[in-house]
Amino acid sequence: MSESDTDNRDGAGTPRPDPGTGDGTRAVRAGLPEPVKHEPTLPGPVFAAHFHLPGEPTGPYTYGRDENPTWTHLERAIGELEAPGQDDVETLVFASGMAAISSVLFSQLRAGDVAVLPDDGYQALPLVRTQLEAYGIEVRTAPTGGDAQLDVLDGAGLLWIETPSNPGLDVCDVRRLADAAHARGALVAVDNTLATPLGQRPLDLGADFSVASGTKQLTGHGDVLLGYVAGRDAEAMAAVRRWRKIVGAIPGPMEAWLAHRSIATLQLRVDRQNATALKVAEALRARPEITGLRYPGLPDDPSHKIASQQMRRYGCVVSFTLPTRARADRFLDALRLVEGATSFGGVRSTAERRGRWGGDAVPEGFVRLSVGAEDPEDLVADLLRALEESAG
Ligand SMILES: *Cc1c(COP(=O)(O)O)cnc(C)c1O
């Protein structure tokens, strides 16, 4: 038997003990299995629809819609970031953020239940609302800001929080809302997409589920769609897992592996992008044509007080409004370092006039800017030049 045959018998290997507590250390090592001589540090993607399985069909790996060793590594990585050192937290990866969101809502709610959603959250939530209502679930909504969801919690079975909200960047007090929801017997889920696990740990703030799109800053290169759910309640997570199995909303092994590789640079990207976002916000707010500038990291932002209590980093998204739709379009056209694109969190800056989609309650000139990893001086110069050029 060769050396490598004796190792890794459970397919994914045992996770390594946490050797450090810094975010950078944790990110580069997250989810790596015990090293195996002559094997890569991060094992390559396992392409398998089914696994060799003679005799009694026991796990961990039987059929590719249920489990895959590449997911196992990625799930451990995300779990180590969402809930460091907490072995009771389970993480499940999905084909997209929406697959993860739907898995929680549709696995936890039944006809007659009440769900509370934000009215200023991700743009697909209204579609989800329609589907929940079609299944006989009552949906109430309230704004994220001012913890307004508190007012509609009575009788709720599940509270869905998105903080900071996308695209308005309002923040709510997760601990306060979670306590109020739990006192009424409701489960609490937080969409952690914008913050990433390095910016905010919803499970530590009292949430039952931390749910996110890994498509954004978690993976950061704009080349992978991914989602995940992390939770501590074994029964609730078993229902989420069952939902993944019956809907089949699973990530491909290649996507899962790319995501895991990308997480190694999460702390570098997040620190760079978020620091630049603050510089960009400071530069833009000095401009007379800009109103409603929002960035939770700005000390005088309406979100800052609560954000500074529950977040460790404030994200890479800055939003603001230009006087007219035409001005916003000219501004976006004039940018050279900022690509016109939806989505956010990538290493290359992107921006869009959010009103072009309809749906979000935002002014016509509202721009959502996702700050990338370019040099801050270059980016600020490009933005200020585009503002000048678009004035005429
Ligand atoms: C993008 C996004 C989603 C959906 O994620 P996908 O990976 O596109 O399915 C959900 N919530 C928020 C806050 C998002 O920004």
DSSP classification of residue 35: P
* Structure confidence at residue 174 (pLDDT): 98
Closest ligand 1 atom number to CA of residue 98? 9
Identify whether the C-beta of residue 161 lies closer than 8 Å to the C-beta of residue 144.
yes
Identify whether the C-beta of residue 197 lies closer than 8 Å to the C-beta of residue 217.
no
The residue extents of the domains of the chain are 3-263, 267-389
Query: What's the sign of the alpha-carbon dihedral 134, 142, 316, 280?
Result: positive
**CATH hierarchy code of domain 267-389:** 3.90.1150.10
- For 361, the token pair is 């309650």
* Structure confidence at residue 358 (pLDDT): 83
Identify whether the C-beta of residue 178 lies closer than 8 Å to the C-beta of residue 230.
no
By most ligand atoms within 8 Å of CB, the mutation choice from 166, 172, 221 for ligand 1 is 166
* Structure confidence at residue 221 (pLDDT): 98
How many Cα neighbours within 13 Å face the side chain of 240? 28
DSSP string, 81-112: HHSTT-TT-EEEEESSHHHHHHHHHHHH--TT
Residue ranges lining ligand 1, Cβ < 6 Å: 96-98, 101, 122, 162, 166, 191, 193-194, 213, 215-216, 225, 227
Question: Which residue has the least CA distance to atom 2 on ligand 1?
Answer: 213
Q: Answer whether the bond into residue 60 is a cis peptide, omega within 30°.
A: yes
Closest ligand 1 atom number to CA of residue 216? 1
By most ligand atoms within 8 Å of CB, the mutation choice from 78, 215, 224 for ligand 1 is 215
CATH class of 3-263: alpha beta
Q: Give the closest residue to 250 by CA, choosing from 227, 221, 217.
A: 227
Q: What whole-number distance in Å separates Cα of residue 89 and Cα of residue 201?
A: 12
DSSP classification of residue 315: -
Q: Which tens digit of pLDDT belongs to each residue from 40-49?
A: 999 999 999 9
148 CA → ligand 1 middle, Å: 22
Question: Which residue has the least CA distance to atom 8 on ligand 1?
Answer: 97
Q: What whole-number distance in Å separates Cα of residue 221 and Cα of residue 377?
A: 21
Query: What's the sign of the alpha-carbon dihedral 362, 364, 366, 368?
Result: positive
Identify whether the C-beta of residue 367 lies closer than 8 Å to the C-beta of residue 352.
yes
Q: Which tens digit of pLDDT belongs to each residue from 248-272?
A: 999 999 999 999 999 999 999 999 9
Classify residue 58 by burial, with Cβ atoms within 10 Å: 0-12, 13-18, 19+.
exposed
More confident residue, 20 or 17: 20
316 CA → ligand 1 middle, Å: 15
Identify whether the C-beta of residue 219 lies closer than 8 Å to the C-beta of residue 270.
no
H or E element, residue 257: helix 253-263
What average pLDDT does the chain have?
94
The gap from C-alpha 113 to its chain's centroid, in whole angstroms, comes to: 26
Q: How does residue 392 score in pLDDT terms, banded at 50, 70 and 90?
A: confident
For the entire predicted model, the pTM comes to 0.94
- For the beta carbon of residue 293, count every other beta carbon within 10 angstroms: 20
Identify whether the C-beta of residue 37 lies closer than 8 Å to the C-beta of residue 3.
yes
Q: How does residue 19 score in pLDDT terms, banded at 50, 70 and 90?
A: low
Q: Which tens digit of pLDDT belongs to each residue from 22-39?
A: 999 999 999 999 999 999
Q: Which tens digit of pLDDT belongs to each residue from 101-118?
A: 999 999 999 999 999 999
Q: Which tens digit of pLDDT belongs to each residue from 313-348?
A: 999 999 999 999 999 999 999 999 999 999 999 999
